[in-house]
Structure 1
């Protein structure tokens, strides 16, 4: 099984793929699930807007769109993530880029894990899960950086 990263219409974010893999694998394992085939496509606002219009008939910008191919406990899917939105969201929310990147990165996996965010109650649960995921991101980052020394 594999997690792959691609960039469309942007430069690839400045993260090591093995570090991102470890984070995503850890997040999925924390929910007692298995990694399947996951593709992250980092892209621009315009690229993601076209997908939003073409596939979901939504004519607005978004930070992430997740296509779910989950089968049982095996987590698979395509996750399109607008780096432009991440930058803008970080500015609006007054958080650093890395925290917002971790939140949106985990948001896609959380959708694949079955978490929703359409109702207020679902959104509150999603936010709580995102906060846990950001903490995990920081933990994995610390372990990764320590392994380099």
Structure 2
């Protein structure tokens, strides 16, 4: 089950459509859907988590806590909508497009993809783009 929580004024307009898309991606990756929570917040909220849990004193757009068991995908995905908005401007893409990219990025991590090295980053970006094309 995919759940959405809001620690800011931001709200998704199409939770059901997004949930269906994410469920499809999980299935296409050969995994099963467990309990997944998205928590939308601001930079301050996410920065605090980044410092407290990851020892990183930087701003980021996403932090995910993976509780997956085998191929059952589950966890908490925190997204700073402020950071997503700024990144959308930087990359010259629509906010909604960047938000979906970040949302599926967290899922891809749960499916076993990493982005620590350049080749991994390129593979992750290709997967994100592939699945974004399934959205629209």
The TM-score, its normalising length taken from structure 1, stands at 0.88
In structure 2, how many angstroms separate the alpha carbons of the residues matched to 1:46 and 1:15?
A: 24
Spell out the pairing of 1:71-86 with structure 2 (5 A cutoff). Answer: 71-86=69-84
SS in 1 for 2:74: strand
In structure 1, how many angstroms separate the alpha carbons of the residues matched to 2:132 and 2:100?
A: 6
Partner of 1:54: 52
Aligned residue-pair number? 136
Maintained 8 Å contact 1:64/1:79: yes
Spell out the pairing of 1:106-121 with structure 2 (5 A cutoff). Answer: 106-121=104-119
1:28-76 alpha-carbon deviations (Å, 9 max, x no partner): 0111111001000011011000000000000000000010111111000
Q: Which runs of 5+ in 2 are unaligned?
A: none
Partner of 1:5: 4
Q: Cα RMSD between the aligned structures?
A: 0.9
SS in 1 for 2:26: helix
In structure 1, how many angstroms separate the alpha carbons of the residues matched to 2:95 and 2:4?
A: 19
Q: 1:24 is matched with which residue: 22, 25, 28?
A: 22
Deviation at 1:136, TM superposition (A): 1.8
Q: Which runs of 5+ in 1 are unaligned?
A: 139-149
Maintained 8 Å contact 1:76/1:112: yes
Deviation at 1:13, TM superposition (A): 2.9
The TM-score, its normalising length taken from structure 2, stands at 0.97
Maintained 8 Å contact 2:114/2:120: yes
In structure 2, how many angstroms separate the alpha carbons of the residues matched to 1:14 and 1:67?
A: 21
Deviation at 1:15, TM superposition (A): 2.3
Partner of 2:40: 42
Which stretches of structure 1, 4 residues or more, deviate above 3 A after TM superposition?
none
